[in-house]
């Protein structure tokens, strides 16, 4: 194998990896990153509740009522944080 053939194979491999990475970045709609929602739950909700209590026996259609009740009881969440937590909680078991 000559240097030129090895270089072409390396270049092709690099281009394929780059194309795959760009494709994943553009079409990554199926994978939601819930790290921030988990941090919010750990920092805001687990002040009063253990995380095991938070996730125990709730269904996706009851989360909005539960989160709003916790806000009325003093949980400090912005509108965006509320929406992020609700999305996470509703999709947690999917």
Per-residue pLDDT reduced to its tens digit, 28-39: 545 556 788 989
Q: What DSSP string runs through 31-82?
A: ----HHHHHHHHHHGGGTS-HHHHHTT--GGGHHHHHHHHHHTT----HHHH
Q: How far apart are CA 16 and CA 8, in angstroms?
A: 12
- Span 52-88, pLDDT tens digits: 888 777 777 789 999 999 999 999 999 999 999 998 8
How many independent structural domains does the chain possess? 2
17 and 60 part of one domain: no
41 and 24 part of one domain: no
pLDDT at residue 8 in the model:
73
23 and 47 part of one domain: no
87 and 50 part of one domain: yes
Query: What would the mean pLDDT of 10-23 be, rounded to a whole number?
Result: 71
pLDDT at residue 80 in the model:
93
């Amino acid at each position: 194998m000559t240097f030129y053939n090895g270089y072409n194979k390396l270049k092709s491999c690099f281009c394929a990896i780059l194309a795959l990475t760009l494709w994943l970045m553009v079409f990554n709609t199926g994978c939601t990153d819930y790290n921030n929602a988990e941090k919010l739950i750990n920092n805001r909700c687990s002040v009063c509740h253990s995380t095991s209590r938070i996730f125990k026996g709730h269904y996706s259609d009851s989360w909005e009522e539960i989160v709003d009740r916790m806000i009325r009881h003093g949980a400090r969440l912005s509108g965006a944080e509320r929406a992020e937590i609700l999305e996470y909680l509703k999709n947690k078991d999917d």
